[in-house]
């Protein structure tokens, strides 16, 4: 799972730099757009994630965004309405 989170953090950096999303889009919307592609990539790369539930995938993606350092844990939790594990 750590490897998947690390890969997600790397891909989030690329997404944040190169994908045009309006400045009015909130963090929840940004993560939602990112998650569509990221989730498919993670499921394809890691067999164990092929049948992972949506909440597990959201957790991996949210932790990746957190690990990227672009948003704080609190910002991510508030935007997604979840509590991330430490």
Residue 23's pLDDT is: 60
DSSP notation for 55-72: HHHHHHHHHHHHHHTSS-
d(C-alpha 10, C-alpha 67), whole Å: 9
CA distances from 21 to 6, 30, 55, 56, 75 (A): 23, 7, 24, 25, 18
Other beta carbons less than 10 A from residue 8's beta carbon: 27
- List per-residue pLDDT tens for the chain, 86 residues long: 899 999 999 999 999 888 766 666 789 999 999 999 999 999 999 999 999 999 999 999 999 999 999 999 999 999 999 999 98
């Amino acid at each position: 799972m750590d490897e998947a989170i690390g890969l997600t953090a790397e891909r989030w950096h690329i997404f944040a730099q190169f994908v045009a999303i309006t400045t009015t889009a909130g963090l929840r919307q940004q993560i939602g757009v990112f998650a569509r592609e990221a989730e498919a990539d993670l499921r394809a790369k890691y067999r164990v994630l092929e049948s992972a539930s949506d909440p597990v995938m959201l957790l991996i993606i949210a932790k990746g965004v957190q690990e990227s350092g672009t948003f704080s844990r609190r910002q991510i939790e508030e935007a997604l309405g979840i509590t991330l594990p430490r």
